[in-house]
Amino acid sequence: MTATGSATAPAFDELETGLEIGRREIAVTRADLVKYAGASGDFNPIHWNNDFAVAVELPGVIAHGMFTMGAAVQLVVDWAGDPGAVVDYQTRFTKPVPVSDTTGRDEPGAVLDVVGTIGALDPEARTARVDLTVTCGGQRVLTKAQAVVRLG
């Protein structure tokens, strides 16, 4: 995983709309999906059984939507330096994230590309809306991915 961005968010007064806060590549494996299923309790076979996923007309095993959403917002959490600073986060799921079986190979089954940009500033509330662009294989997998961060 690679990332740019600071461990602590800059002061609110140093921010401007359009400023990129960072970018990250997130490698996803089928093992990650199994671990997430155990943590979340979501054992839907579309997230681990390729034959089942194809039978229901998916491209194969796909990542959990909430896994994708959570992985993407981590860029904002790291930038803010405090998970409690993220006071709102929402998105729309637009495309599934197919995760190939790369068991035994040193490569991910999918790679999420996440870029965070300041989309709006509210000086009265001292919040910044961070807009996330989240793609996999050049396709947007989340749209309107927006996190609101309260800054000191």
Strand order in the sheet with 2-3: 2-3, 20-28, 110-122, 127-136, 139-150, 86-93
Q: Write down the domain spans for the chain.
A: 2-28+63-150
Six-digit token string for 148: 């609101």
How long, in residues, is the chain?
Answer: 152
pLDDT at 145 over 50: yes
b/e string for 35-65 if b means 16 or more Cβ within 10 A?
A: ebbeeeeeeeebbeebeebeeeeeebbbbbb
5: DSSP letter: S
User: What is the distance between the alpha carbons of residues 80 and 77, in angstroms, rounded to a whole number?
Assistant: 5
pTM: 0.91
User: Which of 9-13, 30-34, 86-90, 120-124 is predicted with the least confidence, judged by mean pLDDT?
Assistant: 9-13
**Kind plus residue range of the DSSP H or E element containing 111:** strand 110-122
Mention the CATH class of domain 2-28+63-150.
alpha beta
Q: What is the pLDDT of residue 9?
A: 60
Residue 127 token pair: 């919040």
Q: Where does the pLDDT of residue 152 fall: very low under 50, low under 70, confident under 90, or very high at 90 and above?
A: confident
pLDDT above 60: residue 3: no
The pLDDT confidence band at residue 129, using thresholds 50, 70 and 90, is very high
